[in-house]
Amino acid sequence: EDQVTQSPEALRLQEGESSSLNCSYTVSGLRGLFWYRQDPGKGPEFLFTLYSAGEEKEKERLKATLTKKESFLHITAPKPEDSATYLCAVQASQGAQKLVFGQGTRLTINP
Amino acid sequence: DTEVTQTPKHLVMGMTNKKSLKCEQHMGHRAMYWYKQKAKKPPELMFVYSYEKLSINESVPSRFSPECPNSSLLNLHLHALQPEDSALYLCASRDAGRNQPQHFGDGTRLSIL
């Protein structure tokens, strides 16, 4: 069964304090791993797609990396506006129309 | 603002009412999705339409009835809902190409009295 586990469940940082969020996955043939950001009362906002081990993508203060078993979302010098829930999801070769989501990491950046 | 538009943003209904949720996208995406999301949980897939045909129904109760009138529009018809159906209902769409991401609307917050 395809599974995605995110850690930590919640993370509080001071503004400027860099850290990483983890997404571990087991999937029967990875087609893609997706990172989303979700603000309260809003829908998930697409951030990155990663396809193969070793791939990296960057956007402003965020950098996503992928290995054969996990993905990291690195946040460099975060600002309060980076506070959100970050969701990781995988698309498997079997059942390619579906996304399997992790439980999310609730990130709070204190000024 | 997202490119997937959902209306209404909020809906309060009684258990005997009939109402509909609407989702629209003009990105030319040929796959459209309905999700249900409870507080502090990830989205939970309900239905998938591919090229306007229902391709996945995740054993959703029949009080939820999806409809895809055309490639840009997705409806979710609601009837005789239960209090536990109160949630954020999200619509998403995806391009037909391989490994394309799903793009979500901001959802309809549904409350069942």
Instruction: Please give the full DSSP string across chain B, using - where no structure is assigned.
Output: --SEEEE-SEEEE-TT-EEEEEEEE-S--SEEEEEEE-TTS--EEEEEEETTEEEEE-S--TTEEEEEEETTEEEEEEES--GGG-EEEEEEEE-SSTTPPEEE---EEEEE-
Q: Say which residue the tokens 């239960």 belong to.
A: B82
Give the residue among A8, A2, A27 at the shortest CA–CA distance from A103.
A8
pLDDT for A25: 97
The mean pLDDT value for A13-23 works out to 98
pLDDT for A28: 87
pLDDT for B53: 95
pLDDT for A96: 72
Give the confidence band of A93 by pLDDT, cuts at 50, 70, 90.
Answer: confident
Give the confidence band of A72 by pLDDT, cuts at 50, 70, 90.
Answer: very high
Say if residues A64 and A73 touch (Cβ distance below 8 Å): yes
Give, in degrees to the nearest 5, the angle at Cα A89 between B40 and B65: 70
Say if residues A96 and A1 touch (Cβ distance below 8 Å): no
Best residue in B99, B100, B109, B111 for a mutation probing chain A (most A CBs within 10 Å): B99
A71 pLDDT exceeds 60?
yes
Say if residues B105 and B6 touch (Cβ distance below 8 Å): yes
Q: Across the interface, do B43 and A44 touch by the CB < 8 Å criterion? A: yes
Phi and psi angles of residue B70, each rounded to the nearest 5 degrees, phi first: -155, 180
pLDDT for B98: 72
Q: Across the interface, do A51 and B99 touch by the CB < 8 Å criterion? A: yes
pLDDT for A70: 97
Contacts with B7 from chain A: Cβ below 8 Å: none
Give the confidence band of A7 by pLDDT, cuts at 50, 70, 90.
Answer: very high
Retrieve residue A93's tokens.
């070769």
The mean pLDDT value for A62-88 works out to 98
Taking 70 as the pLDDT cut, the residues of chain B under it are: 1-2
Contacts with A34 from chain B: Cβ below 8 Å: 101-102
Q: Across the interface, do B48 and A101 touch by the CB < 8 Å criterion? A: no
Contacts with A99 from chain B: Cβ below 8 Å: 45, 102
pLDDT for B99: 78
Q: Across the interface, do A98 and B99 touch by the CB < 8 Å criterion? A: no
Q: Across the interface, do B106 and A42 touch by the CB < 8 Å criterion? A: yes
Say if residues A2 and A28 touch (Cβ distance below 8 Å): yes
Q: Across the interface, do A44 and B104 touch by the CB < 8 Å criterion? A: yes
pLDDT for B1: 54
Rounded Cα distance between A45 and A34, Å, is 11
What's the whole-number average pLDDT of chain A?
95
Contacts with B40 from chain A: Cβ below 8 Å: 104, 106
Say if residues A88 and A71 touch (Cβ distance below 8 Å): yes
Contacts with B48 from chain A: Cβ below 8 Å: 97-98
A108 — contact with chain B (CB < 8 Å)? no
pLDDT for B97: 73
Q: How far away is chain B from the Cα of A5, in angstroms, using its nearest Cα?
A: 12
